[in-house]
């Protein structure tokens, strides 16, 4: 898969624009990359439910869990599915609504200055080889495109919202991922 970033869009990704976004505060550099996991319904992969959720189109009667998330307005910049396919929901220049109440190095409101990537998965099982390959490729592009971002500013959702969030979870291989960025 050939990827590039042009005008804050990941060329090579599917583009589905989420309404759950807005402008970043003026003069805000993109500095932080936040890795998440998501599956809808929980523990199930391959449905269209994540896309529908990020676009406020999820049928909350289609699964009992969906009632718990009804009315939430959530998005991420990117979703990487189990096959490594990438969907972009929010241009990198805009603020996606992925981090919620969060703090990095004493600075709150991480959505203001971060990019959020959702990995289709759970806290309870490993991610796929294809996902790591796509995540590495995208991360290298982001680091090149946004100079205020650096390898030491790549975190999990659990790092910026401890006690509230656990993703990307214990099966996300941080060592492997960080080593792949160095090669």
Catalytic (active-site) positions: 118
Which ranges of 100-170 would DSSP assign to H, the alpha helix? Answer: 129-145, 157-160
Would you state the pLDDT for residue 135? Answer: 98
CB 13 within 8 A of CB 5: no
Number of domains in the chain: 1
Would you state the pLDDT for residue 183? Answer: 83
Describe the crossing of helices 129-145 and 174-182 by its angle, rounded to 10 degrees.
50
Would you state the pLDDT for residue 163? Answer: 94
CA 155 and chain centroid, separation: 11
- The parts of the chain modelled with pLDDT lower than 50 are none
Q: Which domain holds residue 143?
A: 4-182
- Distance, CA of 111 to CA of 22 (rounded, Å): 10
**pTM, 2 dp:** 0.97
The number of helices, as runs of H, and strands, as runs of E, in the chain is: 5, 12
Q: For residue range 71-123, what is the model confidence (pLDDT) as tens digits?
A: 999 999 999 999 999 999 999 999 999 999 999 999 999 999 999 999 999 99
C-alpha distances in Å from residue 91, one per residue of 5, 76, 169: 10, 10, 26
Q: Domain containing 15 — which CATH number?
A: 3.40.80.10
Question: Can you give the length of the chain in residues?
Answer: 183
């Amino acid at each position: 898969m050939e990827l590039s970033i042009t005008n804050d869009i990941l060329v090579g990704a599917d583009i589905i624009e989420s309404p759950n976004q807005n402008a970043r505060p003026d003069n805000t550099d993109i500095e932080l990359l936040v890795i998440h996991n998501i599956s809808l319904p929980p523990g199930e992969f391959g449905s269209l439910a994540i896309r529908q959720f990020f676009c406020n189109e999820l049928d909350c009667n289609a699964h009992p869990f969906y009632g718990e998330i009804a009315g939430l307005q959530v998005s991420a910049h990117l979703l990487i599915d189990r096959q490594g396919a990438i969907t972009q929901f929010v241009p990198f220049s805009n603020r996606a609504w992925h981090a919620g109440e969060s703090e990095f190095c004493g600075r709150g409101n991480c959505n203001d200055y971060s990019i959020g990537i959702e990995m289709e998965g759970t806290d309870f099982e490993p991610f796929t080889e294809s996902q790591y390959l796509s995540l590495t490729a995208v991360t290298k592009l982001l680091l090149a495109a946004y100079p205020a971002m650096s390898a030491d500013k790549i975190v999990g959702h659990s790092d910026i919202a401890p006690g509230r969030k656990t993703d990307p979870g214990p099966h996300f291989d941080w060592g492997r991922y960080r080593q792949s960025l160095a090669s």
